[in-house]
Amino acid sequence: MKDSGIRKEIAEVAPYGKFIIEAPLTIAVVVDPSKDPTHYIEDGAIAATHILLSAHALGLGSCWVGAFGSTYENDVKRILGIPTRFRIVALVALGYPAETGTSMRKGLKELVHHEKYGKRAERAEKSKS
């Protein structure tokens, strides 16, 4: 949604999305549970992730606004005119970043376990010698 009035209404009801009003565009990722009652949340999450990755590739800043199991999902549905049978998986705010920050991303050595939990890459390399 590009309409600043709509983004303002959503920002007022979304506890984790107050900044949506500042983003020039926000995409609502909406799924229909009747199409796939087992995997609809995962399918929506995959779609949202692809939006985030594509935005990054284009030099855009983006932010996933979630927590839609809470009460404000119905408020956002009302604002956007989304039928009650659908679910909102995420809102994705998009725009050009005002600044470039440093990544707080952890390195793979902190996240990846080899073969078993707790066996880090460094330990795997040391055990070979």
Contact between 115 and 50 (Cβ < 8 Å): no
Domain boundary assignment for the chain: 4-101
pLDDT band at 122 (very low <50, low <70, confident <90, very high): low
Among 18, 23, 17, which Cα is nearest to 4's?
23
User: 29-64: per-residue pLDDT in tens?
Assistant: 999 999 887 888 899 999 999 999 999 999 999 999
Exposed/middle/buried for residue 28 (C-beta within 10 Å: 0-12, 13-18, 19+): buried
| 1-5, 35-39, 76-80: least confident range | 35-39
**Topology of domain 4-101, per CATH?**
NADH Oxidase (3.40.109)
Among 77, 82, 93, which Cα is nearest to 13's?
77
